[in-house]
Amino acid sequence: MPRKARRARTVQESEPADAATRTAPVGSNRQTRSGGAARSTTVGEETSATRTGIKRRRQEDLAETSSKRRAAAINTRRTTARLDASGADESETENGEDDAPHNQAFYDSINSIAGASQPRQQQGGQDPASQQLLLEEEVARLNAIYDFNEDDDEPPANASTAAHKQRAASVSLGGDTFDADSPDPDEDLPLESTDAASEADMDADDTLVPRDEASITLDITEVAHEPTSIVSLEKLRLMLNLMTQRGWTGDSDYADDVLPGSQEPLDDWCSRHETTLGRGSLKRLFRTTHRLLLMIKTMPRAPRYAEQASHLCDNKKQVEKALEAVRQATNQVVDHVPSGTNLTDLQLREAKAARKAICLKIMPLLVLCLKEAFLVGTNLSSDVDAPLPEEGLFIASTLELPRLLLGWCLQLHQALGPLLDERRLNSSDKATRTAARNRRRLRPHLEHSCRTLRKAKTQTEKLRQRQMRGDLDAEIRRTQVEQDRQQKERDKQQMQLITNHSHKLREVDDYLKRHRWHMWEDDGLRETIRRVANPDIDVLLKLVGPDRRACDVVRRVGELKAMLASVTYDD
């Protein structure tokens, strides 16, 4: 272990330092000490020049990119550590006496980092205190540029959200204006905590959520007896409770702040949240989500499933329009949140303000809207102050609403990348660790709910398909029965006709046997004599068979007249 360097001797004892130190033999302690004293004087002058260069460099480096600044900071730490070790080795070789290192690269590196502009010259050594001072000033300059060490003034858990409403300088984000100075917990992390690093450190299941670019079309089928599926509401209860924790709203009564009051105009409600949301895509998403919440709130509750399907059919276009508005606003917010490693100071502030708005306003309102969508499967209304049921019954049409909302929540949660970084879980600040942990806890609940809804929808679709197949089979059976009945009726009528015809033939045969005249002959003669008292014989012969004689026809006409007369008399 090298001994701690001693203080340099006074200037009065020094000798010329240009060549004496280098040419003196190693065993000359006097020349070594005098050379170190001369270098100490030079160090004082160089330190003053170095500090002046640092001040000038602070103003010039504001235009440099963030990647070069990080590289300079990292190289400074590595070079200083390496050169300190080299200087310690050289001090050991001088039998514990004070001496400056002879490595010119040491002075060149310090001068290039500090921004010294004077020509290269032979410089004296610097003690460890001076080197540490230079290093601290350089790091302080970088910290001032990137706001590494901002205080965490996130509201504590269960605190009123009224403390959040502080006006500050604003920046723009895709048409939005935000509170640029709004603090973010975990802002004291180093530059290495970038979006890319945070995404890499997240769990393996935290993959990017595929964004649905197609227009939303609800699949609504009115069935006589709509099948239902049971969905657990445990994860919804956990998400509602999570919104009250640090990292989100930090307010146990956040619903009273996020939602408008009973007598509060919507314009005043939007203005109240404008400090955090701005005036662009975030505000648009906030308003469209609230509009969808009100629309879902009017839907009939279980077990009125037929009324639910009828309500969705009657208001299909309005519901699809509201869902499409939320989808487009969500995509705009996600697209306009800056991400990546090469961000300017303005972009960093924009991203910070947008993520704060998502945590404090957007996500809590989406969770409340999700609650309304899940309450459709229960017999409760959000206006009733009652515990959340353990499960709900949903038809296929009503399952689509919470499924879409969960997908948008996952998209926005993905945009919180830097706030979910693994390094925040290991931060020395307890508030930072708690906020990061609570933010990361939301995603498993969302993913579990998505899987549950997918299973429920699949089960409901199978039941509905089975029911539709059963209804189709029943309809086919009913149709077959009706066809059989009609066929039997036709067969019966045909048999009746045949029977009647046979009976008619028997009557005709019996008539011919009794009267020796065909029934049709008597009918023709009888009809003629009813109209004409004494018809011509030629006319009568045309009404009988060709084998009939005129005398026989005249005799038969007389018999028929007598029969008609007797019938008339009897009547």
| pLDDT tens track for 505-563 | 788 778 877 878 888 888 888 888 888 888 888 888 888 888 888 888 888 888 888 88
Please tell me the distance from the alpha carbon of residue 263 to that of residue 473, in angstroms, as a whole number: 55
**Range scoring the smallest mean pLDDT among 16-20, 59-63, 106-110, 559-563:** 16-20
Mean pLDDT of the 47-67 span: 55
Query: If 0-12 CB within 10 Å is exposed, 13-18 middle and 19+ buried, where does residue 401 land?
Result: buried
Specify the pLDDT at position 124.
43
Q: What percent of the chain has pLDDT over 90?
A: 34
pLDDT (tens digit, 9 = 90+) per residue, 344-363?
888 888 888 999 999 999 99
> Are residues 288 and 325 in contact, defined by beta-carbon separation less than 8 angstroms?
yes
Q: What's the rounded Cα separation, in Å, for the pair 33 and 28?
A: 9
Q: State the CB neighbour count (10 A cutoff) for residue 127.
A: 20
- Express each pLDDT in 259-317 by its tens digit: 998 889 989 999 999 989 988 899 999 999 999 999 999 999 999 999 999 999 999 99
The CA distance from 376 to 382, in Å, is 10
C-beta neighbour count of 484 within 10 angstroms: 10
Whether 135 has a pLDDT exceeding 80, the answer reads no
Instruction: Record the pTM.
Output: 0.54
Q: Which secondary structure element, helix H or strand E, spans residue 365, and what is its range?
A: helix 363-375
Give 417's DSSP letter: G
Residue type, 539: V
Give the separation between CA 41 and CA 367, rounded to whole angstroms. Answer: 68
Question: What pLDDT is attached to residue 559?
Answer: 85
In 3D, which of 90, 66, 39 has the Cα closest to residue 142? 66
Asked if pLDDT for residue 84 goes beyond 50, the answer is no
Task: Match 């077990």 to its residue by tokens.
Answer: 303
